[in-house]
A and B are shown apart, each in its own frame.
Chain A
Amino acid sequence: MTTSETPAEINHVDSSSLDAPLNAVKVDRSIFGHIWYFLRKYPVLPAFVLIMLVIAAIIGPTVAPYERDIGPIGDRHLPMFSFTELAPEDQDPPKYGLWPAGYHLFGSDHIGRDVFTRVLHGATVSMQVVMVSLVLGMVIGVTLGVVSGYYGGMTDEVITRFVDIWYAMPFLMVALIVVLIFGRGLTVLLFVLALVAWAGFVRVIRAQVLVLKEMDYVAAARVTGASDIRIMWKHLLPGILNTAIVVGTLNTSSLILSESVLSFVGAGIQPPTPAWGVMTNEGRDYLSIAPHQVLVPSAAIFMVVISLNFLGDWLRDRLDPRLRQID
């Protein structure tokens, strides 16, 4: 549920407000009240987290203070906010002078690699994977949705049935089978995540197309001799773009979750590449002596997903309130 004030919540009359005068709309707010209202109305914090994520993903690998995949083994399991215990000649120097020598912001992992560096690299990996697979899934899902809604009949029946069957498959099982057959690797992972993403689009887009194709302007286009392809591309697609964007945003968080779960299970991104799921899995054997190895990447996943959920809800209320019914 979103914290922004949605129309449904404003219209709701609960029993305690029934006896309040109707003109009591104007509210006197203190300065903190204004700030609180603003924070509730616009997704400021989620937007901030996501902007940080994008920045981290773009410049992270460049500004990360240490090497990604190697570290001095003597430095293992350092706690957060700590300096190295090695003698200066044994240390790995930071990649540039600005960073205090030997300082590990988020500690180090079980073979002495800097966790902060790996979290930054993990942001890049997550962003790349999610972006590509989302676009891939969106293209497949929107195409099938439009085709299914526009042609109807047997085509529609087959596609809808297929989506139904697809929903009946536990996702992780499908992913494991695909990974088993095509091997572990980035391309396969992108493909698997696209398989997760596409089905969510089909039903919503199809429902929308069913409404749009009865519109007069579509009939007019057909009378003037436009081909089916042209009608779908020029006349139907622009009408469903908003919906596609909303569904896409709402799907992004589940993609990130899926990616992290797959990487955690060992079917996604392969070590030593530092996806957050991989880092969590590597750290879980050391939970009792160095919990930050699990907690830092977990917190990263959690914050990004929570922000995406908020932003998705907000976008949905703004662009396409009818979609509220789907969750």
Chain B
Amino acid sequence: MANFLARRFISSLVSVIGATLAIFVLIQFHNDPRQLFVPDSGFGITEEQWIALGDRMGLNDPLWKQYLTWMGNTLRGDLGVSLARDRAVVDLIKGKIGATIQLAVGGWIFAIALGVPMGVLAAVKRGTFWDYFGRSVAIVGQAAPPFVTALVAIWIFAVWLEWLPAGGRSAEFKPSEYILPCVALGWGAAASLMRLTRSSMLEVLDSEYIRLARAKGVKWNWVIYKHALRNALIAPVTSALLVFSSWLNGALVVEIVFSWPGIGYDALFRAVNDNDFPLLLGTVFIFILIYLVFATLADIAYTLIDPRVRLGNSSD
């Protein structure tokens, strides 16, 4: 276990360094961030001011030194100061990440609550109405991009039926505001979870030990929950954990459609539009960190569910 975690940690470190370095290099191709401080009208700024600005922002150092400075600060928990908003990046991200996490967790619960039972049902009642129903839901979920799901949901439940608000998030907790965003975000994941659960459940139900259990006279429900489900859940659990990384794709779109004040829209999207590179780097760093944590958790969850998997051998 310790060996595995150590190796995992090193490869994660390589990923983080590679990704942030790539962005650091790419950003050099773009406009100088100092131009953000030059007003559109008037006389621009003088040469001395330009250099002084560069000194303040550390732009006059060579690239490797800039990167090392950023890395060192990051390790001390300081992600720099946002250029466009003149606030600490850590504070900005801290202020926004709560809304995104609430959205992600809500969508996640929806995805699991819909996907896994439906997959089990579709596999156990194979070829019946439930199977076709579940598979249709999955097909729809996989073919609709998140903004289509979100807008159709708004159209039906907010515009037409007027049951739920069409977007926004109040300061105090209001459950009705969470339903549509979470459903829109979780739908696609529910579809893939359902497919995975169904196919792995079918595979397990087809195996010898299930037949043996049935031949011994074990009750069918007992066979499903005790013998089949536990073995069939391995793939869906991994996928459900990894889904958190794809949230970062889906969440941005969902946040835009529902005017959700989360990290995707308020930090990432606006950082890109404002050419705000400390904020951009910080957000990317946080995103990759989240992904790696969940990838590691997925691997550990493997062993807890399936004792046959030994961590030392599972990573290549």
Contact = CB atoms under 8 A, between A and B. Distances in A.
A309 B206 CA distance: 26
A35 to B, nearest CB: 18
B272 A179 contact: yes
B218 interface: no
Interface in B144-172: 144-148, 151-152, 154-155, 159, 166
Contact of A288 (B29, B159, B269, B291): B159
B40 to A, nearest CB: 19
Interface string A147-168: 0000000000000011011001
Interface centre among A168, A257, A295 (most CB of B within 10 A): A168
Contacts of B288: 168-169
A173 B19 CA distance: 12
Nearest to B264: A172
B151 A177 contact: no
A288 B14 CA distance: 49
A12 B287 CA distance: 42
A260 interface: yes
Contacts of B159: 287-288, 291
Given A177-B23, A177-B26, A298-B152, A261 B145 contact: yes
B116 interface: no
A165 B139 contact: no
B155 A287 contact: yes
A280 B151 contact: yes
B145 A260 contact: yes
Main secondary structure of the interface of A (DSSP, over half): helix
B280 to A, nearest CB: 7
Interface stretch (A91-99, A112-120, A185-193, A300-308): A300-308
Nearest to B12: A168
B275 interface: yes
Contacts of B23: 177
B312 to A, nearest CB: 19
B272 A298 contact: no
B285 to A, nearest CB: 11
Interface stretch (B48-56, B60-68, B242-250): B242-250
Interface in A279-327: 280-281, 284, 287-288, 291, 294-295, 298, 301-302, 305-306, 309, 327
Interface residues of B, number: 57
Contact of A172 (B19, B139, B202, B249): B249
Interface in B12-49: 14-15, 18-19, 23, 26-27, 29-30
B120 interface: no
A294 B275 contact: no
B101 interface: no
Contacts of B184: none
Interface in B254-299: 256-257, 268-269, 272-273, 275, 280, 283-284, 287-288, 291-292, 295
A176 interface: yes
A165 B284 contact: no
A173 B287 CA distance: 9
A14 interface: yes
A173 B252 CA distance: 9
B143 A181 contact: no
A169 B248 CA distance: 10
A284 B257 contact: yes
23 contacts: A12-B126, A165-B18, A170-B248, A172-B249, A172-B253, A176-B269, A177-B280, A181-B29, A182-B29, A260-B145, A264-B145, A264-B253, A265-B252, A287-B151, A288-B159, A291-B159, A298-B144, A298-B152, A301-B144, A302-B148, A305-B143, A306-B140, A309-B142
Given A170-B287, A173-B268, A287-B154, 11 more contacts: A1-B139, A13-B206, A165-B14, A168-B245, A168-B291, A173-B284, A177-B23, A177-B280, A287-B166, A294-B151, A301-B145
Interface of A: 1, 12-15, 161-162, 164-165, 168-173, 176-182, 253, 257, 260-261, 264-265, 277, 280-281, 284, 287-288, 291, 294-295, 298, 301-302, 305-306, 309, 327
